[in-house]
Structure 1
Amino acid sequence: MKSILAIGECMMELIEKSDSLLNRSFAGDTYNALVYAKRYNPQTDCRYFTAVGGDATSKTMLSAWKKHNLNTDCALVSTSVTIGIYAISTDDTGERSFSYWRSQSAATQMMRLMPLPELINKIGQVDIAFFSGISLGILSDEDKGLLLELTKRLQENGTKIAFDPNYRPAMWNGPEHAIHWLELAYQHCDIALPGIEEHELLLGHTSPIKIMQYCQSLGAKEIIVKCGNDGTFVYECGELIAHQAFVAAPVQIDSTAAGDSFAGTYLAARNIGCDIETALIDACSVAREVVQHKGAILDIDVYEAINTYAKRNQLLI
C-alpha cells in the first residue's frame, strides 16, 4: 500500500455565522492537503504527524480525521495543552480577517513529546513525507532543527520529502529568519512546491526559471512553481516537463485551501505513478473547484464529480 505522511498542525476553525453563532470545523494547511490526497486515491495510507491534547475537543478533532479515513497513529498527545484555534471574521465588503490562538498549542510541542529514534520507529516506512513553512514556523528554532533532522532521517530510509514554503510573515522574526529555515528545508526535500509571490517577496525571484534554479541549487529535484495568472510550471532535474495555463474558476468564493488541495492532489498522483503532466492537470482541476465553495474541504459528492483519477480507474471514494 502506498503511503503519505503529512507533518504540521490542524486547528479548530471558528467562522462567524451570525452575531451570536460560530460554526466549528477543523483545518490546517498540511491537514487539508492530506485529506485531498486521501480523496484522490482512497487506497493510499494517509498519516498525520502532529500533536493534540487529551481533552474532549482534541478527541472530537481526531474523530473528524477518522471520518476522512486518515490514519491517526502518528498523532502524539500532550497532557498539558490542547489544540490551536483560529477565528475567521468577514466584514461588510466580504474581506476576511483571521485571529489565532496557537502559540502554546499541542502541535508546537510535537518534536518534544517523543525521542527522535522512537518517533522514527512510530512513523515507520512511508513513501512521501510532506511539510510546509507553517509546519516549521510554529516551532521553536531548536525544534525546527529536530523536524529537519526527522525529514533527513526519513529521506535516508527511502522516503521522498516534499516541501511547500507557504510563507506567512507573521510566523517569522523577519525575512532573514524565514530565508534561513526555508533554505534548510529545501536542502532536505526532493519535491518543492514554491509560489512565485513568496519567492519574489523574500528573495526577489520574479520568474519560474529563477525559482527553479534556486531550489535545484539547494537540492530539490522535482520543482512545481505556482505562478498565479501565468499558470504552474513543473521542472525535473532542471528541465521543464509540464506547464498548465491558469484557467479562472467561474466564480471564486473561498481561496483558503486552493494551494493545499493542489499539493495534496499532486503528491497523491505522483505517489501512485501518475506522470507529471497528469498529476499537474488533476491538481489544478481540484484547486479550481475548491475555490468555488466555502470552507477548506469539499463535500464528498462535489469532490466525486471532479476526481478524474477515480473516473479513469473506476474507483469508489
Structure 2
Amino acid sequence: MVNDVVTFGEAMCMLIAEKTGDLIDVEKFSRNMAGAETNVAIGLARLGLKSGWVSRLGNDIFGTYIIRTLKQEGVDISNVRLIDSNSTGFLFKSKTLKGDPHVEYFRKYSACSTMSIEDYNEQYFSSFKHLHVTGISIALSQSVKEFAEFAMKNMKNKGKSISFDPNLRLSLWNNEKEMVRAINSFAEDADIILPGISEGKILTGYNSAEDIAKFYLDKGLKVVVVKTGKEGAYYDTGKESGFVPGYKVEKVVDTVGAGDGFAVGVISGLLEKLPITEAVRRGNAIGSLAVMSEGDKDGLPTREQLNRYMSC
C-alpha cells in the first residue's frame, strides 16, 4: 500500500478559555487538541489523503484523548507509542476577540521529548510518498532532533519529497542564533519550505519575499512559498515565481493553526500535481478558513467544503 504524507511531532491537550480576559481569571475551559503536525495530518485526512503521524504520548487521559481524536479523523497512528515514564503535554489558551491568543505551555519533559531514532520504523515511513517536518519538533530535545535528522536523510535517500515549515518558537531554543542555525540546516534537506514573511526575515536577514525565496533556492530547495498574511503568498520554483492573493476573511476568530492549514493546501495540491499557483491558492483558502474558527484544527475543511468555498 502506498500512503500519502507522514509527519511526526508533539500533540498536546489544549484547554481553551470560555471567556475573554487573563487566563488567571478564567474558571472554565473547553477541551481540544493542539499540535502543528497533527493539524496537518488531520487536514490532509479530511481532504481524503492517507496521512500518518508518529510520536510518543503519555499513557494517560490526555494521551488517550489524542489517540481517540486522531482515529476519528482517519489519521494512521499505528506507530505512536504510549509510555508510562513521561506525561502528555498540555496547554492553556486564552479567548481573544482580536489578535493572537495568549498560550501557556506545559510540555517540558513530555513523552514526545523522549522520542529517539529507535522510534523510526523504516518500513512504515517508506510506505509514504511525502514527509512533512516542522521546526517545532527539532527544538523539543536532542533525541527528537536526531530522530528528525535521521528521518529526513532516510526519506530523501529513498527519493521521497519533503516539506519543511519553520514554525519558529524562540521559547523552545536557548537563543535566536542557535534557532536560526538549526532551522536553516534542516531546511537544506527539504524540497519545499513554507516560511511566514516574518520568519523569513529572521532566518535569512532579508526583508522581501523575493529575496527570502532566492536565499533558499540557492541552498538547493525546489519550491519556496512565503506566507504574507492576509495579502496572500509568494512562490518561487526557480523556473516560475509570482504572488497569489489571499482570501478575504470576514472575521478573524483565532490565528493559531492558519499556517498548518496553508501547509495542508500546498502539500495536497502539489501531491495532486496541481500547478504551483493552484496549490498556493488552495493553501490560502484553507489558511483563511482556519483563522475563522476557534480550535487549531476546527476550520480544516473536507474536500466538499473546500471545493464549495473556493468556487464562491
Structure 2: distance between partners of 1:46 and 1:148: 20
Question: Is the counterpart of residue 24 in structure 1 residue 31 in structure 2?
Answer: yes
Structure 2: distance between partners of 1:213 and 1:250: 33
Aligned counterpart, 1:155: 156
Structure 2: distance between partners of 1:171 and 1:92: 27
Question: Is the counterpart of residue 110 in structure 1 residue 111 in structure 2?
Answer: no
* 1:198-277 matches, cutoff 5 A: 198-236=199-237, 238-277=238-277
Structure 2: distance between partners of 1:77 and 1:138: 18
* 1:54-69 matches, cutoff 5 A: 54-69=59-74
After TM superposition, the structure 1 stretch with the greater mean CA deviation from structure 2, 289-298 or 62-71, is: 289-298
Amino acid in the other structure paired with 2:306 = N
Structure 2: distance between partners of 1:109 and 1:211: 34
Deviation of residue 2 (structure 1)? 4.2
Amino acid in the other structure paired with 2:37 = T
After TM superposition, the structure 1 stretch with the greater mean CA deviation from structure 2, 241-250 or 163-172, is: 241-250
1:159-218 C-alpha deviation (Å, 9 max, x unpaired): 111101011111111111011111111111011111110121343211112111211122
CA gap of 1:131–1:23, structure 2 versus 1, over 3 A, is: same
Structure 1: distance between partners of 2:168 and 2:245: 23
Report the TM-score when normalising by structure 1.
Answer: 0.88
Aligned counterpart, 2:125: 123
Report the TM-score when normalising by structure 2.
Answer: 0.89
Deviation of residue 91 (structure 1)? 6.9
CA gap of 1:52–1:235, structure 2 versus 1, over 3 A, is: same
Which consecutive residues of structure 2, in runs of 5 or more, have no partner in the other structure?
A: 20-25
* Aligned-residue CA RMSD (Å): 2.4
1:13-41 C-alpha deviation (Å, 9 max, x unpaired): 0112254322111111111111111112x
Aligned counterpart, 2:43: 36
Structure 2: distance between partners of 1:160 and 1:304: 23
* 1:177-192 matches, cutoff 5 A: 177-192=178-193
Retained in 1: the 8 A contact 2:204–2:215?
Answer: no
Structure 2: distance between partners of 1:244 and 1:92: 28
After TM superposition, the structure 1 stretch with the greater mean CA deviation from structure 2, 19-28 or 59-68, is: 19-28
Aligned counterpart, 2:145: 144
Deviation of residue 263 (structure 1)? 0.3
Deviation of residue 260 (structure 1)? 0.6
Provide the aligned length of Structure 1 versus Structure 2: 304
Structure 1: distance between partners of 2:163 and 2:96: 36
Aligned counterpart, 2:296: 296
Amino acid in the other structure paired with 2:130 = I
After TM superposition, the structure 1 stretch with the greater mean CA deviation from structure 2, 61-70 or 207-216, is: 207-216
Aligned counterpart, 2:197: 196
Retained in 2: the 8 A contact 1:189–1:220?
Answer: yes
CA gap of 1:311–1:287, structure 2 versus 1, over 3 A, is: closer
After TM superposition, the structure 1 stretch with the greater mean CA deviation from structure 2, 17-26 or 282-291, is: 17-26
1:140-164 C-alpha deviation (Å, 9 max, x unpaired): 2x54133112211111112111101
Aligned counterpart, 1:77: 82
